[in-house]
Amino acid sequence: MGPKQHVRLQKGNITTRMGKIRAGAHKTDGNMIAYFTTYLVVNLDLADIFSGASSSKEAIMRILALHGLGASGAMLKAQLRPFIKSFGKEHQFVFFEGAVPCGRGPAVPAWESGPFQSYATGFTPQEMREALHRIDKFIRQTGPFDGVLGFSLGSAMAVSYILDQQRRNPDSRPPFDFALFFSPIFVASPDDACYERLVDRILDDDHAEFRAEFPDGDSASLLGSEEERVFTEYLKVVLSMHSSVGTSLPNTRLDFLSFEAQASNVPRLLHPDIYKERVRIPTVHVSGLNDVPAMEKQSQVAEGLYTPSLTQLYRHDGGHEIPFKKAEVMTIISMVNDTAEKGKQLQALYDF
């Protein structure tokens, strides 16, 4: 048994069998948004707090885990059970909890009773900045972490966080050595300068006809440049997810390109054809061959945001889910171990 621990966290939690949840609210853009502030005041062995933990005398690889849309840390822990067991006691999985209540997510089974959480009230630059701030605060309080793992929206938030850290701290060590992403969906930037000129053009008077018909208009004929077409066609793909899986996102307006639209309300969805920065850490990308088409497309777009030479890809025969077959699990774990080793070698370069 390891040493006893006394833990107190805010606006996020480590999934454990014991804990105390306190509800609250904060104001965003004039709306009261409910959230959960979790205070874990526990007196447990570390093995009870982190799945797969062992004694402090052994080298431990710590992995931050981010759940999907309309899910929770506890649900992700259940989804990862085959991986947690196979990785063994040398790995700690620390589960961050989204702060915004929302509806049941697309990958959540019907028997789950909730609560269901998201990371953001919406995906404008300001809303993304607030969401990434909560993640960053959690990392600073409970890190450092060797790697990051995400599923669906959790993967997308991790990609956004990594790219944002690289942009803001170009000469610093990356926040993680490696990443494992399961079925990422759309990646939104918190930077309001991202696509600034592009968004201004789409909102000018010359594009009024396009905006009036969006998302049903013919972007190819109504827009003047290739980057405008790429950006707006991808917006349409992401919006089509609402009809495919239902609206799970809280306070997400779909009329952000209306005649009275403001640039600050337009999500800056990252697409590798028009966004040139890449995730600069070794990455394993896992996706299902039978995913919902709109989500499969988003996963492919997210894949394009990685550095190709540092990326390993794995396709399983399932849908929008974390694979659980033993052979698939062991193959992915082998890829992660290789990726983690490469990540350590790259991080060592920052010490020179």
Q: Which residues of 299-315 are buried (b: 16+ CB within 10 A; e: fewer)?
A: bebbbebbeeebbbebe
Residue 260: HSE in the Cβ half-sphere, 13 Å Cα cutoff: 0
Eight-state DSSP code of residue 180: E
- Is 248 in contact with 69 (CB distance < 8 Å)? yes
Q: Which amino acid is at 259?
A: F
Told to judge if 225 belongs to the known catalytic residues of this protein, a careful annotator would answer: no
3-state DSSP assignment of residue 284: strand
List the catalytic residue out of 51, 72, 152, 160: 152
The rounded distance, in Å, linking the Cα atoms of 307 and 320 is: 23
Quick check: 281 and 310 in contact, CB under 8 A?
yes
Residues 319/288, Cβ–Cβ less than 8 Å: yes
Provide the residue type at 222 as one letter.
Answer: L
With contact defined as beta carbons under 8 Å apart, do 24 and 32 qualify?
A: no
Point out the residues that are catalytic. 152
